[in-house]
Protein backbone atom coordinates (compact mmCIF):
# COMPACT_ATOMS: atom_id res chain seq x y z
CA UNK A 1 0.00 0.00 0.00
CA UNK A 2 1.33 3.46 -0.74
CA UNK A 3 2.42 5.79 2.02
CA UNK A 4 0.15 8.82 2.12
CA UNK A 5 0.06 12.33 3.51
CA UNK A 6 -2.86 14.71 3.68
CA UNK A 7 -3.11 18.46 3.45
CA UNK A 8 -5.87 20.08 5.49
CA UNK A 9 -6.29 23.83 5.16
CA UNK A 10 -2.71 24.28 3.96
CA UNK A 11 -1.06 22.15 6.68
CA UNK A 12 0.51 18.78 5.87
CA UNK A 13 -0.04 15.74 8.10
CA UNK A 14 1.59 12.30 8.19
CA UNK A 15 0.04 9.14 9.65
CA UNK A 16 0.93 8.06 13.18
CA UNK A 17 2.45 4.55 13.44
CA UNK A 18 2.17 4.05 9.70
CA UNK A 19 -1.43 2.93 10.03
CA UNK A 20 -3.13 2.93 6.68
CA UNK A 21 -5.84 5.52 6.96
CA UNK A 22 -5.55 6.75 3.39
CA UNK A 23 -5.60 4.98 0.09
CA UNK A 24 -5.74 5.82 -3.55
CA UNK A 25 -6.44 4.31 -6.91
CA UNK A 26 -6.38 5.34 -10.53
CA UNK A 27 -9.18 4.18 -12.80
CA UNK A 28 -8.78 4.20 -16.57
CA UNK A 29 -11.62 3.81 -18.99
CA UNK A 30 -10.46 4.30 -22.55
CA UNK A 31 -8.72 7.66 -22.78
CA UNK A 32 -10.25 8.84 -19.51
CA UNK A 33 -8.19 8.64 -16.33
CA UNK A 34 -9.70 9.42 -12.94
CA UNK A 35 -7.99 9.38 -9.55
CA UNK A 36 -9.81 8.59 -6.33
CA UNK A 37 -8.65 8.78 -2.73
CA UNK A 38 -10.30 7.78 0.53
CA UNK A 39 -9.13 9.15 3.86
CA UNK A 40 -10.13 8.86 7.48
CA UNK A 41 -9.75 12.19 9.24
CA UNK A 42 -9.50 10.75 12.74
CA UNK A 43 -7.40 13.30 14.62
CA UNK A 44 -5.36 10.84 16.66
CA UNK A 45 -4.08 9.18 13.46
CA UNK A 46 -2.51 12.27 11.88
CA UNK A 47 0.33 14.50 13.10
CA UNK A 48 1.73 17.71 11.63
CA UNK A 49 4.53 16.89 9.23
CA UNK A 50 6.38 20.05 10.28
CA UNK A 51 6.57 18.71 13.86
CA UNK A 52 8.49 15.61 12.73
CA UNK A 53 12.25 16.05 12.32
CA UNK A 54 13.49 13.60 9.67
CA UNK A 55 16.82 14.93 8.43
CA UNK A 56 19.62 12.40 8.87
CA UNK A 57 17.42 9.96 10.80
CA UNK A 58 16.73 6.29 10.24
CA UNK A 59 13.19 5.00 9.64
CA UNK A 60 13.07 3.83 13.26
CA UNK A 61 14.15 7.24 14.54
CA UNK A 62 11.57 8.95 12.33
CA UNK A 63 8.88 6.65 13.76
CA UNK A 64 9.98 7.77 17.24
CA UNK A 65 9.76 11.41 16.15
CA UNK A 66 6.21 10.85 14.86
CA UNK A 67 5.18 9.31 18.19
CA UNK A 68 6.81 12.15 20.11
CA UNK A 69 5.02 14.73 17.97
CA UNK A 70 1.70 12.87 18.37
CA UNK A 71 2.10 13.11 22.14
CA UNK A 72 1.51 16.85 21.91
CA UNK A 73 -2.16 17.52 21.17
CA UNK A 74 -1.35 20.73 19.26
CA UNK A 75 0.42 18.61 16.61
CA UNK A 76 -2.59 16.36 15.98
CA UNK A 77 -5.17 16.93 13.30
CA UNK A 78 -8.07 18.94 14.65
CA UNK A 79 -11.13 19.76 12.62
CA UNK A 80 -13.36 22.59 13.76
CA UNK A 81 -16.96 22.79 12.56
CA UNK A 82 -17.21 24.55 9.21
CA UNK A 83 -15.54 24.28 5.82
CA UNK A 84 -12.16 22.57 5.41
CA UNK A 85 -10.03 22.03 2.31
CA UNK A 86 -8.42 18.59 1.99
CA UNK A 87 -5.95 17.06 -0.50
CA UNK A 88 -4.15 13.68 -0.58
CA UNK A 89 -0.60 12.87 -1.72
CA UNK A 90 0.72 9.29 -2.02
CA UNK A 91 3.97 7.60 -2.92
CA UNK A 92 4.38 4.55 -5.04
CA UNK A 93 1.66 5.38 -7.54
CA UNK A 94 3.75 7.40 -9.99
CA UNK A 95 3.72 4.70 -12.69
CA UNK A 96 -0.07 4.83 -12.63
CA UNK A 97 -0.25 8.55 -13.26
CA UNK A 98 -0.10 9.91 -16.81
CA UNK A 99 3.47 11.10 -17.32
CA UNK A 100 4.37 9.67 -13.89
CA UNK A 101 7.96 9.60 -12.70
CA UNK A 102 9.24 6.01 -12.76
CA UNK A 103 12.40 6.88 -10.76
CA UNK A 104 11.23 6.02 -7.27
CA UNK A 105 8.98 6.68 -4.32
CA UNK A 106 8.00 10.32 -4.45
CA UNK A 107 4.77 11.85 -3.29
CA UNK A 108 2.31 12.69 -6.04
CA UNK A 109 -1.05 14.40 -5.82
CA UNK A 110 -3.92 11.95 -5.92
CA UNK A 111 -6.76 14.37 -5.57
CA UNK A 112 -7.50 17.96 -6.29
CA UNK A 113 -8.28 20.04 -3.25
CA UNK A 114 -11.75 19.13 -2.01
CA UNK A 115 -13.87 21.29 0.25
CA UNK A 116 -15.68 19.44 3.03
CA UNK A 117 -18.03 20.70 5.72
CA UNK A 118 -17.74 19.52 9.31
CA UNK A 119 -21.00 19.78 11.20
CA UNK A 120 -21.28 20.68 14.87
CA UNK A 121 -21.62 17.62 17.16
- pLDDT in 10s for each residue of the chain, 121 residues: 457 788 899 999 988 876 555 566 777 778 877 767 777 888 888 999 999 988 888 888 888 888 999 999 999 998 889 999 988 887 654 444 444 444 444 566 666 788 889 888 7
The one-character DSSP state at 61 is H
| The pLDDT of residue 82 | 93
Q: Which element (helix H / strand E) includes 22?
A: strand 22-29
pLDDT at 51: 93
Domain that holds residue 13: 4-118
- Smallest CA-to-CA distance from 35 within 43, 25, 44 is with 25
- pLDDT of the residue at 94: 43
Total structural domains within the chain? 1
Amino acid sequence: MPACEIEVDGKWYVPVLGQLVAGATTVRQGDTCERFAAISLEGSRWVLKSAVKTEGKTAREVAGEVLRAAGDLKNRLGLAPGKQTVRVMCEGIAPLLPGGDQAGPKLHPVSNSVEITISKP
